[in-house]
Amino acid sequence: MTAGIVARDLPLPTADHTDQEVVDVVRVCRGLRPRRGDASDLLRTHAQALVGDRPWGEGRWMPPQFVLVTVVCRSGRVVPGPEELFWLSAWRYSNHLANAFDGDVYLVTEHGWTGTIDQRAGFSPALGDGARHLTAIGPDLDPGRAHPTPT
């Protein structure tokens, strides 16, 4: 499992600027995930380093200029599970106060991708050149059965 943060510019609400731009990518974790409290501290540190503090100006807090999106890369089904919910929870308790909104936690597997909150999904991007389906019926499986035919 690998988790990383992507910092993106927020689109301005004007007709001439509606695209988002990836401004930085940071690998947060590779392998075993940290303890929950340590993960929140780690995310807070990276958020501050990526986008800085939320600016104060004209006697008020200025709107955040970025959105931080977390991407979890792992093998398996394209269904958010404990890994993705772990990082979603870690963001919830990070209290980063950075110049960004917390975005979704996205999952990317060999079968495609999905969002944890917004539930959009697709076949691309995907990890590696693995199978693009979840089940296969081989010569030793009866199509009407979920287990191998006894010999």
Residue-by-residue pLDDT tens, the chain, 151 positions: 555 666 555 444 434 445 667 778 888 888 888 998 899 999 999 899 888 999 999 999 998 888 888 899 999 999 999 999 999 999 999 988 888 888 889 999 999 999 999 889 999 989 886 444 433 333 343 344 343 334 3
Answer yes or no: are the C-beta atoms of 7 and 66 closer than 8 Å. yes
**pTM of the predicted model as reported, rounded to 2 decimal places:** 0.72
Per-residue DSSP letter, 132: S
Q: What's the pLDDT at 25?
A: 82
Order of strands across the sheet that contains 121-122? 22-30, 2-9, 66-73, 100-109, 112-115, 121-122
